Structure 1
């Protein structure tokens, strides 16, 4: 049974086609990824599905009611709204009645009208199963790992991973049969993404999501739809399956175009030759040469035959396939002749004297290093990069930088860009580039013609990231320090950057939550966790393999998950079995201690 189906759906705004040829067929239980370049219309399509925008053409059918679908779209949330209030407001009717009851309880009096009004309000709340709704909020919050400590914190102060959990909780209170998620992994660290992967894998309902995170798509999607300016194409499986088939299709299309072009070129050459022969024979025929007249006639017929063949071929014209041109890996970095680029000795740093953030750090960055810095959000990764680059100074210890060192620093906040500059002016700040060279470079990054005169402040975050990377790419840096360089970038741009970094002749220090990028680039790994820093001499792939669970450990992890689910169910029961809860908590602690012991032995 399909839960969502579209047939040749299209949208126009102000006479401009935004999306067209959208054909989706989503069945109950499918986990569907919608991918495509920035600006192709993914968010527009989701807005059509949720009713925010009307389609211009085609058909749209739902096998579910609108209230059976949970929509998690990008939204502006009042900065003063607490986490629990944000969840409550998922059901405004219940929330308003709950508020009214609480206010009336504070102002309680024995006036007959007041009591009658209170009883009426209470009855309305009970008719809506308000108390069951409150219990469900607590149960779902526990299931999603939402601590009660978060409840009175402003929603805006939560981390990316915490916000996603809270948004899911607000949706799940309504028991949706389908979830529609727009970029659910934005601003999430690797651990939070892994949690979301695990949760979505066990979710029995239907899921439709957009994402540029290839690893996430691979782990969650059973079907992938690729959206282009021509429409959608369906692929079974995640991103890796899509990529393999798409590359094969691209190669086949290029071969077909090549064959078409060769055949067309050959026909044009033959037609030209016959025309020359005809002209020559025709000139001879004018001198009353009977043989030449016959020859001219034969050549004229041949010209018409070949022109007909050319016409038939061009009626089946094959368009040249669009190429995703890779970035030319021409970094203008000076050769670094020394071995050590940066050395840190007993470095400590703190934003608050009472709470040390980084303590007694010792590390080196050497020529040829490609260091991945990983850890949870807030663990100190960005602070470490600022210490490396000299953006901030250590409270204690010493940071030594080689005199030959030239750092190119890509910051999340993009502070290195002048918002009042045009795109072209920003690139021309690199002294060695001419205007012609700068425009050619920008065209490779899809900034063409008049686009180069747009001001930085008017660009999207993805466009700003592209400008920042281009500028860094063509600088003379011999050490690139990159803080989340692929945030806001679509998949094709990420892959271009990966290819460029893979052949970059200098050294790289990178913070990223994108496993695909780290697998391509990193030959060393540094992990920051709870103030502790671990160094791993090996690639990111090696690090991943070393952290994979053995069958025995996976069994313990599965047992922990089952016990946690059982605990959540017990908390949700009307009659709480304290003895049973105590026993399950004991088992949980026992198994978690086993896992901690195994981790410490590594």
Structure 2
């Protein structure tokens, strides 16, 4: 049985049609993912479903009362004074205000009458049951009492998401609506959310660009475009598979249609010529020629009818996304080691150190995924690598050939007054034609390239920053959550681009699809220790956490590699005896590293 149904809904904003013919049906117990490119109107569609904004056309049927829908939206909280518990209580403004007044009046004898009046209202509205329901939900989402009085703005991303869930769940809704619920969550918080949703008994409608989250949660996926919605059973992977099948089917149908259309057009042209020739030769005294002309006319009309039918049922040419087919010139890097951290310790002020005697090497060809819970120092490590921060103890050595491209620096450095095209043309040796082609590959079409940066959404700014960074001729790209604010199509373009990139890559990301396609090494931070895993993200997730023995071997290898790097950097001595000792040291270190590699493979 359906809870809510939308049929052929269209929504206009400022006389512009955002989308049309959008249909969606939510049944009991379903987990529905609503996906689509940024700007297509997913949140607007939800607002239309909820009656927050008017729809232009279509029908919406709902069997739900207002208090049976819980909507966890993306509206930011600006009040820095509000505590987490107050944030949850404000879902019911009337009871929240009554509680606030009671607290104020209970210490002032002049307001005894007001106190009793408000107290009675509070009882009539089941205020104490409401308080108990809030307590229950806070415990249920795993938020301990010591956080209840903490400012909402100081909570972590995961804690804020849990608080928002507790807020909407106080009224036990039959339909839960989640708008980008995984934003700013680390992997552990996402795992918790997936588990929580699996235990929830009602229906769920959610928007998300996190493909693995969609796979793990959705039973149904709706894609929204400007032409409407299309329903797919299952999560993202099944949707993607079906989309590819549909694309191939459409291409085959289009090719078949075009072949048939060409044949019909040629036949029409041929029969027209025959008719005109036979008609010119025909006369009242030549009945055979006249009959032949009429016969050709009948055939001509039949072919014209067939061509008309084909045109009326025409399959539009499938739009093929332009692929990045461009040679990238990363700055040449001939050495093996790009940069090295030796015994690095770092802390902010007098806090416990985030890193204590951390040593690691970044080598040519590395594609490193840095993972860990929020607060474990992922961004701090990137800043140490780039030189934005200096270690308290230890050393960071950067190869003279190293040229770093840092995503956050590129994003923050965009000139708001310049157009997208001007930003890309500022790159070395970039021509107008190349810039337009590249921007098309990254979904900036036609007049889009003339938009000023200050008028762009955050997702569009991230795309511009990525393109500038990618073609900057850097030989090491460093990213901090590059796919935040990006839709699925843009994420896939970035994955394709990074797969082609000839330099090294270091990235912090919670996007497991991206990490699977890019990473060949994983650095996991957490609990005061660092695990350096020499394998793909899939291999890491299948074996993590790495055993103590494996980690010990890996740490020993890192130390030996550092020693080898420092030794190679030294000038070979002129004295023959010293030169032999130098060579022997090199050989010993290489043999030890090879032996550790062999032990690791066992």
Q: Same fold (TM over 0.5)?
A: yes
Aligned to 1:37: 37
Residues 245-264 of structure 1 mapped to structure 2, 5 A cutoff:
245-264=242-261
The answer to whether structure 1 residue 546 and structure 2 residue 543 are counterparts is yes
The answer to whether structure 1 residue 323 and structure 2 residue 316 are counterparts is no
Distance in 1 between residues matched to 2:71 and 2:314, nearest whole Å: 43
Once the two structures are superposed, residues 247-285 of structure 1 have per-residue CA deviations (whole angstroms, 9 ceiling, x without a partner) of 111211111111111111222233344556667778888
Distance in 1 between residues matched to 2:498 and 2:288, nearest whole Å: 69
Aligned to 1:501: 498
Name the SS for the 2:317 alignment partner: coil
Aligned to 2:206: 209
Corresponding residue to 1:453 among 436, 450, 453: 450
Distance in 2 between residues matched to 1:421 and 1:391, nearest whole Å: 26
Distance in 2 between residues matched to 1:337 and 1:413, nearest whole Å: 25
Contact 1:331 1:475 in 2 (8 A): no
The answer to whether structure 1 residue 221 and structure 2 residue 218 are counterparts is yes
Contact 2:278 2:292 in 1 (8 A): yes
Aligned to 1:176: 173
Residues 148-159 of structure 1 mapped to structure 2, 5 A cutoff:
148-159=145-156
Residues 415-454 of structure 1 mapped to structure 2, 5 A cutoff:
415-454=412-451
Contact 2:428 2:472 in 1 (8 A): no
Distance in 1 between residues matched to 2:454 and 2:341, nearest whole Å: 36
Question: Cα gap change, 1:379/1:271 in structure 2, threshold over 3 Å: closer, same or farther?
Answer: same
Contact 1:10 1:56 in 2 (8 A): yes
Name the SS for the 2:67 alignment partner: helix
Distance in 1 between residues matched to 2:342 and 2:289, nearest whole Å: 94
Contact 1:72 1:182 in 2 (8 A): yes
Distance in 1 between residues matched to 2:134 and 2:409, nearest whole Å: 35
Corresponding residue to 1:191 among 167, 172, 188: 188
Shift of 1:515: 0.7
Q: Report the more deviating stretch, 354-363 or 37-46.
A: 354-363
Aligned to 1:47: 47
Q: Report the more deviating stretch, 323-332 or 452-461.
A: 323-332
Corresponding residue to 1:367 among 364, 375, 384: 364
Shift of 1:117: 3.2
Shift of 1:302: 4.4
Aligned to 1:590: none
Aligned to 1:597: none
Shift of 1:395: 2.3
Shift of 1:296: 6.7
Shift of 1:407: 1.8
Corresponding residue to 2:527 among 527, 530, 533: 530
Aligned to 2:88: 87
Shift of 1:502: 1.9
Residues 17-36 of structure 1 mapped to structure 2, 5 A cutoff:
17-36=17-36
Distance in 2 between residues matched to 1:323 and 1:170, nearest whole Å: 44
Gaps of 5+ in 2: 547-602
Distance in 2 between residues matched to 1:285 and 1:531, nearest whole Å: 99
Shift of 1:452: 1.7
Shift of 1:106: 1.5
Name the SS for the 2:376 alignment partner: coil
Contact 2:105 2:114 in 1 (8 A): no
TM-score by length of 1: 0.85
Aligned to 1:124: 121
Name the SS for the 1:71 alignment partner: strand
Shift of 1:495: 1.1
Shift of 1:413: 8.4
Shift of 1:124: 1.5
Residues 273-312 of structure 1 mapped to structure 2, 5 A cutoff:
273-275=270-272, 302-312=299-309
Question: Cα gap change, 1:494/1:261 in structure 2, threshold over 3 Å: closer, same or farther?
Answer: same
Question: Cα gap change, 1:405/1:296 in structure 2, threshold over 3 Å: closer, same or farther?
Answer: farther
Aligned to 1:587: none
Aligned to 1:598: none
Residues 392-411 of structure 1 mapped to structure 2, 5 A cutoff:
392-411=389-408
Shift of 1:72: 0.9
Contact 1:412 1:483 in 2 (8 A): no
The answer to whether structure 1 residue 510 and structure 2 residue 507 are counterparts is yes
Name the SS for the 1:106 alignment partner: coil
Report the RMSD for the aligned CA atoms in angstroms. 2.4
How many pairs were matched up? 544
TM-score by length of 2: 0.85
Corresponding residue to 1:145 among 142, 146, 157: 142
Residues 56-95 of structure 1 mapped to structure 2, 5 A cutoff:
56-77=56-77, 78-95=79-96
Contact 1:345 1:363 in 2 (8 A): yes
Distance in 1 between residues matched to 2:391 and 2:289, nearest whole Å: 95
